[in-house]
């Protein structure tokens, strides 16, 4: 559960994501706290790389590149209908007794409710919160990769986790991404996250990429998956014919 300060800071970040810029006075009215408190929040958020303070206000740092703290994402869980929709589509690819790789993304968390409907599953994940929720809400046997936890993201990644992933063999892997396009494939802002997805691809028979609309046609620093690594692309909207044809040319089946 978020603290009062974290909830207030989430309000500020969410507001800035929509408005891009806000004056201090706007934020004081938004959260109903003193100017001193709001300024402390902005210093804290700036130190996390989420916002940039300006004279008399603050602006969001590139919406596509910021890493919202994981607990802030968790606070929005069950409120994102697009991710619920993706999970329901993904359900059609799951069968009883499967061995499944699941990444640590918030999109993948929406699969937990879907996975609870199946029996005999074995699930391997690099998500600390993901593993906890799977253990709580499904009957699956759950394994979590060993390695270093990335601060404030509840994800285990890096070389040790990569090598651990290579000790498993899975029927299917469900992963998300920071960005996807038909030239560079799936990309991430963190090298460690990209490594884990490469391991999942290597050790699974099928790989399914889960991507909400805002991730389309964006490229980031680290490639996690080339297009030829992806078997299924599940989105929350219908791709235009040209885009779908370009993904199909890489032998990707698009589902929505």
What is the SS3 assignment for 95? coil
At 66 the pLDDT is 47
CA gap 115, 243 in Å, rounded: 30
Domain enclosing residue 250, as ranges: 71-254
Task: Give pLDDT, residue 227.
Answer: 97
Residue 61 is predicted with a pLDDT of 79
Q: How many domains does the chain have?
A: 2
- The average pLDDT across 111-139 equals 94
Cα dihedral sign, 161-166-169-174: positive
Cβ-based neighbour number of residue 228 at 10 Å: 10
pLDDT of 135 above 90: yes
Same domain, 84 and 143: yes
Q: What does the pLDDT average to over 191-214?
A: 96
Given 14, 40, 60, which residue is the final one in a domain? 60
- Which residue(s) pair with 170 in the sheet? 204
Residue 138: is its pLDDT beyond 90? Answer: yes
Q: In percent, how much of the chain has pLDDT > 70?
A: 92
CA distance 64 to 175: 18
> Model's pTM, two decimal places?
0.74
The DSSP output letter for 212 is: -
User: Which CATH number goes with the domain that contains 39?
Assistant: 1.10.10.10
Q: Is residue 66 part of a domain?
A: no
Query: Do 172 and 54 share a structural domain?
Result: no
Conformational region of residue 17, where left means phi above 0, alpha means psi within -120 to 50, and beta covers everything else: alpha
Cβ atoms of 202 and 132 within 8 Å: the answer is no
């Amino acid at each position: 559960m978020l603290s009062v300060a974290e909830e207030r800071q989430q309000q500020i970040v969410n507001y800035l994501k929509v408005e891009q810029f806000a004056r201090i006075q706007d934020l004081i009215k938004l959260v109903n706290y003193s100017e001193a408190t709001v300024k402390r929040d902005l210093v804290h958020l700036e130190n996390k790389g989420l916002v940039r303070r300006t004279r008399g206000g603050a602006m969001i740092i590139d919406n596509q590149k910021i890493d919202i703290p994981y607990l802030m994402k968790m606070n929005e869980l069950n409120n994102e209908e697009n991710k619920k929709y993706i999970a329901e589509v993904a359900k059609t690819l799951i069968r009883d007794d499967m061995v499944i790789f699941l990444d640590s993304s918030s999109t993948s968390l929406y699969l937990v409710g879907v996975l609870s409907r199946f029996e005999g599953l074995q699930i391997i994940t690099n998500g600390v919160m993901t593993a906890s929720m799977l253990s709580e809400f499904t009957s699956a046997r759950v394994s979590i990769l060993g390695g270093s936890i990335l601060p404030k993201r509840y994800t285990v990644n890096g070389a040790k986790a990569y090598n651990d992933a290579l000790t498993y063999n899975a029927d299917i892997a469900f992963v998300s991404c920071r960005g996807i396009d038909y030239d560079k494939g799936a990309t991430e802002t963190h090298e460690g996250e990209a490594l884990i997805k490469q391991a999942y691809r290597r050790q699974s028979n099928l790989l399914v990429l889960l991507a909400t609309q805002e991730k389309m046609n964006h490229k980031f620093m680290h490639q996690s998956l080339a297009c030829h690594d992806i078997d299924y692309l599940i989105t929350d909207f219908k791709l235009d014919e040209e885009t779908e044809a370009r993904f199909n040319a890489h032998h990707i089946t698009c589902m929505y």
